[in-house]
Every structure is written in structure tokens, then in C-alpha cells.
Amino acid sequence: METKFFVHESSYVDEGVSIGDGTKIWHFCHIQKGAKIGKNCTLGQNVNVSQNVVIGDNCKIQNNVSVYEGVELEDGVFCGPSCVFTNDLTPRAEFPKGTAGYKKTLIKRGASIGANATIVCGHTIGEYAMVAAGAVVTKDVPDYSLVAGVPGSVIGKVDKKGDLIKMI
Ligand SMILES: CC(C)(COP(=O)(O)OP(=O)(O)OC[C@H]1O[C@@H](n2cnc3c(N)ncnc32)[C@H](O)[C@@H]1OP(=O)(O)O)[C@@H](O)C(=O)NCCC(=O)NCCS
């Protein structure tokens, strides 16, 4: 069957992966077993999608992002370069929790995560919310909110296109 997506020859796609039409996976990526990536997504260089992760349509994932198990991206999510997801709130090398111990993270439709931001697991980033570069998200982020700082706090409201409409 003709594939309607693109995977650069330097990338690995494990078995049982589903990739939607029009999606482009660039250099040095690894898409792990059971992951589902929607239509018209772009994955930049050195992106890892862990097993069973679900990514919606029209997402853009910039260079050096690992989307770990327990993280879900709805449609139209933007992940800035080197942003960081997590899935174990209190990790220990000697006492791994396994999948059952992961805390889920949901990035809702149209949300954007700035470069180098960190999303502590167990939180939801609302629709069309914007996470500033370098922020550390430690709480749920309401829809259309702009969050910045360490720890992240809501500093404004943004519209669907990402323009600032109000500073708080
Ligand atoms: C948060 C952001 C959207 C604000 O942009 P802006 O509307 O032009 O805002 P301004 O630069 O006028 O800054 C407004 C205030 O927020 C602060 N601020 C801006 N960016 C910030 C950040 N990343 N973290 C903390 N504070 C920030 C500014 O210092 C300023 O504070 P002040 O009023 O006390 O001086 C932008 O700075 C940002 O981080 N964008 C993400 C860029 C990115 O990562 N892109 C990835 C693809 S390349």
C-alpha cells in the first residue's frame, strides 16, 4: 500500500504505529510501538514519541522533544523546541513505577508550549492556552491563558491565533 506520510531515512518507526496522511517525520526521530500520530503533523529533528502515545492532527513538534507515555496531544498542538514532558512525579532509578504509576498529561486542542518549557506530569493544558518559553507548568492551565515563569502562573489571556488580548 502506498504510504501518504514521510519518514526520513534516519528515523525509526516501530511496529504497530499509525501515522496519518500528510505527516512528516524528519531526521533522527524514534516512534515507538503502538503510537498513533494524526494527519498533517510535522515532527522536527530528534523527536521521540513513546509507546502508545496519541497525537492528534495538525500538530507541530519542534526539535528535541520527547513525548513520553502518559502524554496526549490533541489536534493542533504546538510543542516548541526542547520543551520537556514528564510522566513520573517522583522518579527513582531503583524503584521504577512502570506505566501504572505514570501521571497523565493532556495538552488540549490548539495549545502551544514555548521553547524549553517543562510540563510537570498530571496536568492539563487548556484549549489554545500558551505556555511561555522556559516556564515550568505545575498546575492545570485554563483555556486561552498565557502562563509564564517558574513556577508557571497565568499572566495573560490569548486569542485563538495566539495574540495577547489582556495582561493580568
Ligand atoms: C510569553 C510571550 C508570548 C510574551 O510575548 P509578548 O507578548 O511579546 O510579551 P513581552 O515581551 O512584551 O513581555 C511581557 C511581560 O512578560 C514577560 N515575559 C515575556 N516572556 C516571558 C517568559 N518566557 N517567561 C517569563 N516572563 C516573560 C516580560 O519580561 C514582560 O514582563 P514585564 O511586563 O514585567 O516587563 C513570549 O515572550 C514567549 O515566551 N513566547 C514563546 C516563544 C517560543 O518559545 N516559541 C517557540 C517556537 S520558536
pLDDT at 1 over 80: no
Residues near ligand 1 with C-beta < 6 Å? 80, 114-115, 130, 132-135, 146, 148-149, 164
Q: What is the mean pLDDT of residues 74-88?
A: 99
- pLDDT band at 25, cuts 50/70/90? very high
Nearest to 112 by CA among 48, 62, 47: 62
Q: What is the mean pLDDT of residues 31-39?
A: 98
CA of 132 to the centre of ligand 1 (A): 6
- pLDDT band at 127, cuts 50/70/90? very high
- Judge contact between 91 and 72, C-beta under 8 A: no
Which residue do the cell numbers 491563558 mark? 145
- Ligand 1 atom with minimal separation from the 130 CA: 3
pLDDT for 3 equals 77
Q: What is the mean pLDDT of residues 16-33?
A: 98
Is 143 exposed, middle or buried (CB count within 10 Å of its CB: 0-12, 13-18, 19+)? middle
- Ligand 1 atom with minimal separation from the 135 CA: 24
| β-strand partners of 19 | 37
Average predicted confidence (pLDDT) for the chain: 97
pLDDT at 94 over 80: yes
C-alpha cell at 159: 486569542
- Ligand 1 atom with minimal separation from the 62 CA: 47
- Which residue has a Cα nearest atom 40 of ligand 1? 132
- Which residue has a Cα nearest atom 6 of ligand 1? 164
pLDDT at 162 over 80: yes
Q: Report the run of H or E that residue 148 belongs to, with start and end.
A: strand 145-148
Share of the chain above pLDDT 70, in %: 99
pLDDT at 36 over 90: yes
- Which residue has a Cα nearest atom 31 of ligand 1? 155
CA of 146 to the centre of ligand 1 (A): 9
- Judge contact between 93 and 79, C-beta under 8 A: no
